Amino acid sequence: MCKSPLHNFLASLPKAEHHIHLEGSLEPELLFSLAAKNNITLPVSTDASFASPASLRKRYSAFANLDDFLAYYYIGMSVLLHAADFEALAYAYFAKAAAQNVRHAEVFFDAQAHTRRGVALETVVDSFKKAQVRAEKDFGVSSELIMCLLRHLPLSSALDTFGLARGKGYFRDGTLRGMGMDSSEVPFPPPMWTELYEAAREEGIRTTCHAGEEGPPGYVSQALDLLGVQRIDHGVRALVDGDDALVARLAASKTLLTMCPLSNVKLNCISSMSEFPLRRLLDAGVRFSINSDDPAYFGGYILENYCALQETFGLSIRDWEMIAKGAIMGSWCTEERIAKLLVEVEDVVEEWARQFEEQ
């Protein structure tokens, strides 16, 4: 809970989340219990942080950079083996998100990180789907699943995995709403992936891409120009270092940037929360959402990200109204769902604005 007088407003604001890796919501306690259940030996002999959930959590507070985090992230998800593990992971995320008034979530998963360990794609996707259906029924949270491909593996692996998902009909039947790319960034720039995004375009699906997290603003331009993505995940370096022409282009094209402030600070993509380019985003009219990325690793879910920004920038209720509405309008759900969620935001904003004006 933050110290702002707006904390309860931020908690009750209806939210859309677009940048959450389900594997990044694996809390250390669940990680250890799944390791025990599935007879997976954690590498405690070479890394003492795997001694207990508490020591692992402590290590998570000191990541040097993206790759340092990713090493833990891939070890962590190796405890996920069975359908029930994937369903439990996703349902736990939806329960936490719903408790923070997330009303719509577009969630990532890393297909290859599981298939290369011998877990079938259907085990992963069908289990996440079950959790999505339960979350809609139990919490009224709508959601979409986005398959991410890994940049540190060869293009052929990404194409094979894309082909596997296409062959199962997951894109055609809407089980997978779109495709993204993640993992290490700087050595694997957008021009490497044109063939993959061409295949996605032929399939007629929506596309996004992590870009400008550690990489330069030019990677964001390349993702737009060469990959034809409709969305950029992170893009923070484009807003910190990018020229006005790039920022104006993002604003004019209404490209949604799925921003993750706590992640950016924890991975040293920015030096502190005060470097987060919130003012530039708002002043330039760039469409963006605020997200948790890997909440179990970066110290908070979506509300903690909202709070961190509020404590640093002291935004008004009307600023938050703009942020919340921009996020909803950038969502890949139906027009009806968008319209309903916008009304929900207006109702909460009006109630709180009235209370504050009365004081």
Does residue 114 interact with ligand HPA by CB under 6 A?
no
Burial of 174 (0-12, 13-18, 19+ CB in 10 A): exposed
Of 6 and 112, CB closest to ligand HPA? 112
Least separation in angstroms between CB 21 and Zn ion: 6
Does residue 261 interact with ligand HPA by CB under 6 A?
no
Of these, 270, 293, 295, 324, which contacts Zn ion (CB under 5 A)? 293
Q: What's the CA gap between 207 and 180, in Å, rounded? A: 6
213 makes contact, choosing from Zn ion, ligand HPA, none, with CB < 5 to 8 Å by partner type, with ligand HPA
Segment interacting with Zn ion, rule: CB under 5 A, options 79-87, 116-124, 291-299, 318-326: 291-299
Q: Please tell me whether residue 179 adopts helix, strand or coil conformation.
A: strand
Q: What's the CA gap between 229 and 219, in Å, rounded? A: 12
Query: Could you tell me the CA-to-CA distances from 224 to 36, 52, 197, 329 in Å, in that order?
Result: 44, 43, 11, 20
Residue 224 CA from chain centroid, whole number: 19
Pick out residues in 167-206 that bind ligand HPA (CB under 6 A): 182-183
How many residues belong to the site for ligand HPA (CB under 6 A)? 11
Does residue 263 interact with ligand HPA by CB under 6 A?
yes
Active site (annotated) includes residue 213: yes
Query: Could you tell me the CA-to-CA distances from 151 to 77, 156, 191, 197 in Å, in that order?
Result: 17, 11, 12, 13
Q: What's the CA gap between 210 and 229, in Å, rounded? A: 10
Options 87, 213, 214, 321, the catalytic residue: 213
Q: What's the CA gap between 328 and 324, in Å, rounded? A: 6
Segment interacting with Zn ion, rule: CB under 5 A, options 151-159, 184-192, 287-295, 314-322: 287-295
CB-CB contact of 233 with 210 (8 Å): yes
Does residue 143 interact with ligand HPA by CB under 6 A?
no
Does residue 213 interact with ligand HPA by CB under 6 A?
yes
Q: Name the amino acid, one letter, at 244.
A: D
At 114, list the tokens: 């599981």
Of 263 and 305, CB closest to ligand HPA? 263
At 355, list the tokens: 């209370």
Q: Which residue is nearest to ligand HPA (CB)?
A: 182
Of these, 210, 231, 237, 266, which contacts ligand HPA (CB under 6 A)? 210
Q: What's the CA gap between 10 and 292, in Å, rounded? A: 15
- The footprint of Zn ion (CB under 5 A) covers 293
Positions annotated as catalytic residues are 213
- The footprint of ligand HPA (CB under 6 A) covers 21, 24, 66, 73, 182-183, 210, 213, 263, 293-294
